[in-house]
Amino acid sequence: MPEPVADKLLSWYDQNGRHDLPWHHDRNAYRVWVSEIMLQQTQVTTVIPYFQAFMERFPDVEALAGAPVDDVLSHWSGLGYYARARNLHKAAKQVVQEHDGKFPADQAKLESLTGIGRSTAAAIVAQAFEQRATILDGNVKRVLARYHAVPGWPGKTSVLNRLWECAEQHTPDKRIRDYTQAIMDLGAMVCTRSRPACESCPLYSGCEARALGEQKLYPGSKPKKDKPEKTTWMVILEDSQGRVLLERRPPSGIWGGLWSLPELDPAYQPEELPDACERAFGYDCSQPELGSGFRHTFSHYHLHIQPARLSVASTARVADNGTHQWVHRDDALSLGLPAPIRTILTTPQEQP
C-alpha cells in the first residue's frame, strides 16, 4: 500500500520545511490570523517585515481593535489589497466586542468574522488550536491540482469543489499544525508556479501531472481579459507653509479609505489645471510643474498617473474635514497612503 500523502509531506517537512518564520513564534490565534491575511496573494519575503512591524505596533487583538483605522492602514501601506487591512480592523473589533477578546476555536464562528473565509478559518484552527481542519490556499490548490491532475481554473466552482475534496482526503488527524505548514511550504518552495522542482518533491511518484509531463497545465489559468488603460491627473496642491492637500478615498473600491492626492479629469491640458482646481476647490493656483508620469497596475486595469504640482495662494477656503486635510509631507507619510502616492510625495522636487 502506498505511503499516505500526509506521511510523505511530514517526513519532507521535518527535513526541509520552514520552521522559523516570525509567525511560528508564540503561535497564537491572533498572530496566525494576521499572517494568513497578509500572505493572501503576497510572498512570504514581502510579508515578513510588514508582519514584524505590525506586531510591534499592534501586539494583540485589543491593540488592533483600539487603534485608529488610519494607523492600521499606514502599517499596511505598500502591501496592496487594502480591503484586507480594513477587514482586519473590523474583525478585531468583533473579537473584542463579541468574543471578549479571544478568538473562537470553532471554524464556523471564525468564518463569521469579517474577512475570514473557509481556508483562513481552517488555518487558524489548525495552526493555533491544533485541531483538525482542512486548508486550501493558493499554494495548496497548485499542489493538489497537479497531484490529482484536476483540470480547469480553481476560480470555477466545480474545480474548487473537487480541490476541496482532495484537500479533505489528505488532511491527517495527527500533527495537523505541521501538516498545514508542510503542504503550504511544498507549494511555495518546490511545487512552484513556473518552475516546479519535481525531482525534489516528496510526492513525485504519485503525481499525475508529473506522470503526464504536463505539470505546467495544472492548475488551469484564469481566462485572460485585456486590462483597460486609464489616465488621471494627480495634483500636488502645496500652500505657503509647505503643506499638501490630501483627499480621503471612498471606503470601498480602489485604495478604499486611504489618503490620496486629489485627481482631475485627464482631458484637461496642463494650462487648464489652475482653473480646474479653482472650480474644484475654490482658490487660485499657480501654473503647474509637471512631474514624471508613470503607470500603476491594479488587478483589473492599468492607471497612468501624471503628477502636477501647483502652489496655492491661500487655504482659507478649504478647511480640514473628513474628506480633505492639509498635511506636511513628512506627517503625510505616517498616514495610510497607497504606494504610488507615497512615491510621489517622497520624490525630490525638480529645481527650476
Burial class (CB in 10 A: 0-12, 13-18, 19+), 279: exposed
**Ranges for all domains in the chain classified under CATH 1.10.340.30:** 5-217
- Predicted pLDDT at 352: 40
Least confident of 70-79, 218-227, 234-243, 314-323: 314-323
> What mean pLDDT, rounded, does the chain reach?
91
- The CATH number that domain 5-217 falls under is 1.10.340.30
Give the position of cell 483540470. Answer: 151
136 Cβ contact partners less than 8 Å away, ≥ 6 residues apart:
118, 119, 122, 144, 160, 163, 164, 167
pLDDT in tens, 123-172: 999 999 999 999 999 999 999 999 999 999 999 999 999 999 999 999 99
Residue 330 has pLDDT above 90, yes or no: no
**Ranges for all domains in the chain classified under CATH 3.90.79.10:** 229-346
Which CATH class name applies to 229-346? alpha beta
- DSSP calls for 138-205: HHHHHHHHHHTT--S-TTSHHHHHHHHHHHHHH--SSSHHHHHHHHHHHHHHTS-SSS--GGG-TTGG
36 catalytic? Reply is: yes
Q: Is 20 helix (H, G, I), strand (E, B) or coil?
A: coil
CA gap 134, 187 in Å, rounded:
16
- Predicted pLDDT at 147: 97
Give the position of cell 490548490. Answer: 141
Exactly one of 36, 238, 263, 278 is catalytic; name it: 36
